[in-house]
C-alpha cells in the first residue's frame, strides 16, 4: 500500500511532518494591499514569490514567503 506524504487540511499543507500555511489569492490580497493584476505582474517580473499550482484552478502561496516579501519590502 502506498503511503501519502502530503495532505491539505483547511489551508495547512503538511509534507513529511512540516506544516506550512498556504494562502489563496483573496487571502494574499488581505496582506499585500495591491490589485490581482499587480500581484501577477510582480510574479512575472520576479518581484513577488512564485505560487504553487494545486490542480487546474487552485493557486496558492506560502504564508512564510508572503511575510518574508512584506519584511523585505519594508526595508
Query: Which cell numbers in the block locate residue 13?
Result: 499543507
Q: Is the pLDDT of residue 1 over 50?
A: no
Q: Which residue has the higher pLDDT, 21 or 41?
A: 41
**pTM for this one?**
0.75
The b/e string for 6-33 (b: 16+ C-beta within 10 A; e otherwise) is eeeeeeebeeeeeeebbbeeebbeeebe
**Which of the four pLDDT bands, split at 50, 70 and 90, describes residue 44?**
very high
Handedness of CA 31, 29, 33, 62 (dihedral sign): positive
Amino acid at each position: 500500500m502506498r503511503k501519502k506524504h502530503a495532505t491539505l487540511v483547511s489551508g495547512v499543507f503538511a509534507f513529511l511532518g512540516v506544516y506550512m500555511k498556504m494562502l489563496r489569492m483573496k487571502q494574499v490580497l488581505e496582506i499585500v494591499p495591491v490589485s490581482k493584476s499587480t500581484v501577477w505582474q510582480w510574479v512575472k517580473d520576479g518581484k513577488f514569490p512564485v505560487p504553487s499550482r494545486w490542480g487546474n484552478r487552485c493557486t496558492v502561496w506560502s504564508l512564510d514567503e508572503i511575510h518574508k516579501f512584506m519584511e523585505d519590502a519594508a526595508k
